[in-house]
């Protein structure tokens, strides 16, 4: 995980000068409520955590573009007596974006793409310990709205669904993110 984060930071640092020269390029960061839904033989439930994401994109036209980013959904922990469960999920994604400007200040947008989800799942119950760390590719879709504060800076609110992030031994985890943030357009 640290290697992936380091690679993303180095890649962004190397790409930053290119973005500065490219009209239509943007970077952003969001924070919000992530929801992880667990289901399987052990039961089902959902938990909300603070999630965040960092992303970069490029608008090819006023209506169409592409975006890539990293999302951390937070860590879910639950324990009862000597039994414990923890789920830690993150994702890298690439998506095509569509934007519908309503006026000079407001626009609506949607995205569809693919995410590479990484989930670490740990169950320690009745003396039995089960650890698994899996990658799963899933479809991603999202919708949102943007308010242009000025020519370069926008406030955004969006909902993204990352599908199943884990499916192993009858257990599944699904993740989504409802977030707000800032986007800077070069």
Flag the least confident range among 98-107, 112-121, 128-137.
Answer: 128-137
Task: Decide the pairing of beta strands 171-185 and 25-40.
Answer: antiparallel
- What's the domain range around 162? 2-185
Q: Residue 75's pLDDT is what? A: 82
If you compute the radius of gyration of the chain from its CA atoms, what whole number of angstroms results? 18
State CA 62 to chain mean position distance.
Answer: 24
pLDDT value of position 46: 76
Of 91, 139, 73, which is closest to residue 111 (Cα–Cα)?
139
Show the tokens assigned to 101.
Answer: 């400007």
Task: Give percent above pLDDT 70 in the chain.
Answer: 84
Name the β-bridge partners of 143.
110, 159
Nearest CA among 165, 175, 166, 156 for reference residue 67? 156
pLDDT at 26: 95
- Predicted model pTM: 0.78
Q: Name the domain count of the chain.
A: 1
Cα–Cα distance, 104 to 61 (Å, whole number): 15
Residue 169 has pLDDT above 80, yes or no: no
Query: What CATH number corresponds to the domain at position 88?
Result: 2.40.160.20
35-44, 56-65, 97-106: least confidently modelled range: 35-44
């Amino acid at each position: 995980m640290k290697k992936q984060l380091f690679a993303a930071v180095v890649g962004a640092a190397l790409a930053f000068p290119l973005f500065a020269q490219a009209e239509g390029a943007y970077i952003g960061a969001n924070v919000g409520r992530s929801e992880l839904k667990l289901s399987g033989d052990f039961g089902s439930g959902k938990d909300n955590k603070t999630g965040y994401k960092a992303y970069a994109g490029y608008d090819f036209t006023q209506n169409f573009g592409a975006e890539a980013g990293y999302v951390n959904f937070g860590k879910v922990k639950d324990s009862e007596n000597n039994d414990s469960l923890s789920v830690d999920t993150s994702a890298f994604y690439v998506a095509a974006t569509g934007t519908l400007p309503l006026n000079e200040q407001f626009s609506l947008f949607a995205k569809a793409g693919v995410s590479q989800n990484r989930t670490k799942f740990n169950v320690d119950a009745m003396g039995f310990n089960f650890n698994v760390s899996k990658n799963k590719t899933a479809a991603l879709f999202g919708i949102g709205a943007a308010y242009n504060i000025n020519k370069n800076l926008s406030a955004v609110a969006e909902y993204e669904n990352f599908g199943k992030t884990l499916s192993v031994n009858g257990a599944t985890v699904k993740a989504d993110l409802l977030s707000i943030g800032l986007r800077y357009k070069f």
